Amino acid sequence: MCGRYYIEIDEGDLDEIVREAEEKVKEYAGQITMKTRGDIYPTDIVPVLTEAHQGEPMQWGFSLAKGRPVINARCESVFEKAMFRQSVREHRCLIPASAYYEWASVAGTKKKDQYVFQAHGSILYFAGCYRYYHGEKARSIPQFVILTRQAADGAVAIHDRMPVIIPEHRIEDWLCSEKPAISFDESITALQIKRYASQGTATDSMESTDAKGQIGLW
């Protein structure tokens, strides 16, 4: 799954997406606050790139009548699940990020090491879809989920799922529903992984590798 990610505003195209989303925030007349840097958690309002190629503020997670919001959707079943199928066909989006996090237990202890997943000096574009939620606020705020897939071979020991990361040259194919399907193995899996020990001391790094097999996204 993907339960926390990180934004660094100074990274290339991310700056433009943030600026566009900040203009849209003004339309909410002070009813919402958008986070544009640092650690991002579920229910945060963040900049997202829509199918119109515009930055827009959206809230992370589909709200439910009871319980926690749904923050991820499995790419293998997103087109069949009632909660997601209309959104993924009509309202696709990309969630720009600088990195995302996972945690793994340390054998023989109750502690967990933190792992940071990054690309090599570029923005990560998570595949997502969104819907409009009519809540307590005067104007509805769109809500999004992040699509996940089977983890790459080099990362599966940390967590068995990872975000679907769209390559820059396939952004249009994901955002435009009339384009041909993007296959599961076209999403980015070659990432730099940094481990931060639970004791806060030594760190090391590794590389993830492509997962084997092919599953269609749609």
- For 6-19, the pLDDT digits (tens) are 998 676 678 889 99
The third-level CATH classification (topology) of the domain covering 5-207 is: hypothetical protein yedk fold (3.90.1680)
Residue-averaged pLDDT of the chain? 84
Model pLDDT, residue 100: 93
- For 107-118, the pLDDT digits (tens) are 778 788 888 998
**How do the domains of the chain map onto residue ranges?**
5-207
At residue 208, what are phi and psi to the nearest 5 degrees?
-85, 160
Model pLDDT, residue 217: 44
Mean pLDDT of 22-45: 93
Alpha-carbon distances of 100 from 1, 6, 32, 54, 193, rounded to whole Å: 10, 6, 24, 23, 10
| CA separation for the pair 95, 143 (Å, rounded) | 12
∠ CA(45), CA(47), CA(48), 5° rounding? 110
Alpha-carbon distances of 93 from 9, 164, 212, rounded to whole Å: 19, 12, 26
At residue 23, what are phi and psi to the nearest 5 degrees?
-65, -40
Model pLDDT, residue 138: 46
Residue 84: burial class (beta carbons within 10 Å; 0-12, 13-18, 19+):
buried
- For 53-98, the pLDDT digits (tens) are 999 999 999 999 889 999 999 999 999 999 999 999 999 999 999 9
| CA separation for the pair 150, 210 (Å, rounded) | 10
Q: Which residues pair with 195 in a beta bridge?
A: 115, 204
∠ CA(40), CA(43), CA(92), 5° rounding? 85
| CA separation for the pair 181, 170 (Å, rounded) | 10
What DSSP element (H or E) covers 149?
strand 141-150
Bridging pattern class, strands 192-196 and 203-207? antiparallel
pLDDT bin (cut points 50, 70, 90) of residue 212 is very low
187 versus 212: which is more confidently predicted? 187
pLDDT bin (cut points 50, 70, 90) of residue 218 is very low
Mean pLDDT of 191-216: 61
